[in-house]
Chain A
Amino acid sequence: GESVGLHLPTLSVQEGDNSIINCAYSNSASDYFIWYKQESGKGPQFIIDIRSNMDKRQGQRVTVLLNKTVKHLSLQIAATQPGDSAVYFCAENLGDSWGKLQFGAGTQVVVTP
């Protein structure tokens, strides 16, 4: 079937290695950021979020880093597994109102054995 990740930047990672996915955001007024995972044929799935008053937040096998100075966001996945293969999007709230998200272009992560 068709792939959500068609034409997207691709990150190839060996199983067991750590993955780092980067994202640049545009709105300096954004105060809330989310990472989503999207598998083919499915809607985006929440991974982890962070507010602008933090620079790091950890979840289960995932860490999000926020650098407001350069408007940069990253997602680190520890011990990448085959089930982590998907397209990953960062999203920021639009700043003018609550709950309206602007998504980045996405990164296709391919986990190889």
Chain B
Amino acid sequence: ETGVTQSPTHLIKTRGQQVTLRCSSQSGHNTVSWYQQALGQGPQFIFQYYREEENGRGNFPPRFSGLQFPNYSSELNVNALELDDSALYLCARSPGPGNSSDEQFFGPGTRLTVL
């Protein structure tokens, strides 16, 4: 158990729609990172939030956006969905900069299918 939960577990959308994915964890993990994992590939870093502010972004377009809330929950929003957005979306929590461990705890992911 990593203490990280994601919802929903599965989701089907059509091209052009918008989607919101959610992540929550036990308190104390004030940094959240989101990753996209296409089938048969390793996770790709989307962005990271620290203390409710974006703290770095990977090579993803602006239609991928996020939020982090004071209760440590987080959202990933994707607008104008494309077929290639079909993937497993992973949320990872970690204690935050300055902590002795950089270990990231992953949630089970949300499987998004875009038709």
Which residues of B does A touch, CB under 8 Å?
Answer: 2, 4, 31, 33, 35, 37, 39-45, 48, 55-56, 58, 88, 90, 92, 94, 96-97, 102-109
Contacts and interface: CB of A to CB of B under 8 A. Distances in A.
A99 B106 CA distance: 13
Given A89-B42, A100-B45, A46 B33 contact: no
Contacts of A93: 102
B95 to A, nearest CB: 9
18 contacts: A4-B39, A4-B40, A32-B102, A42-B108, A43-B2, A43-B90, A44-B106, A45-B2, A45-B106, A46-B105, A89-B42, A91-B42, A93-B102, A100-B45, A100-B48, A101-B35, A105-B42, A106-B41
Interface stretch (A5-13, A56-64, A66-74, A75-83): A5-13
Contacts of A44: 43, 90, 106
Q: SS class of chain A's interface: helix, strand, loop or mixed?
A: loop
Given A49-B103, A100-B48, A106-B42, 16 more contacts: A4-B88, A5-B40, A34-B102, A34-B103, A43-B106, A43-B107, A43-B109, A46-B105, A89-B43, A91-B42, A99-B33, A99-B48, A99-B97, A101-B43, A101-B45, A103-B35
Contacts of A4: 37, 39-40, 88
Given A43-B2, A43-B107, A99 B42 contact: no
Given A43-B108, A99-B33, A100-B33, A49 B2 contact: no
B35 to A, nearest CB: 8
A8 B40 CA distance: 6
Interface in A1-27: 2, 4-8
A97 interface: yes
Q: Which of B37, B88, B102 has the most CB of A within 10 A?
A: B102
Interface residues of A, number: 31
Nearest to A36: B106
Contacts of B90: 43-44
Interface string A31-44: 01010100001111
Contacts of B96: 99
